[in-house]
Amino acid sequence: MKIAISLLIGLAIGAGCRWFDIPVPSPPTIVGVLLILSITVGYMAADRVIAGRQTSAASEPRR
Q: Over 70: is that where the pLDDT of 61 sits? A: no
Number of domains observed in the structure of the chain: 1
Note the pLDDT tens digit of each residue in 7-60: 777 777 777 777 888 776 666 778 777 777 787 787 778 888 888 777 766 666
Count helices and strands in the chain by DSSP H and E runs: 2, 0
pTM for this predicted structure: 0.48
- Please state, in angstroms and as integers, the Cα–Cα distance from residue 51 to each residue in 6, 8, 36, 41, 55, following that order: 18, 23, 23, 15, 6
Domain that holds residue 21: 2-59
Instruction: Return the pLDDT at 57.
Output: 64
| Cβ(22)–Cβ(10) below 8 Å | no
Nearest to 10 by CA among 25, 31, 28: 25
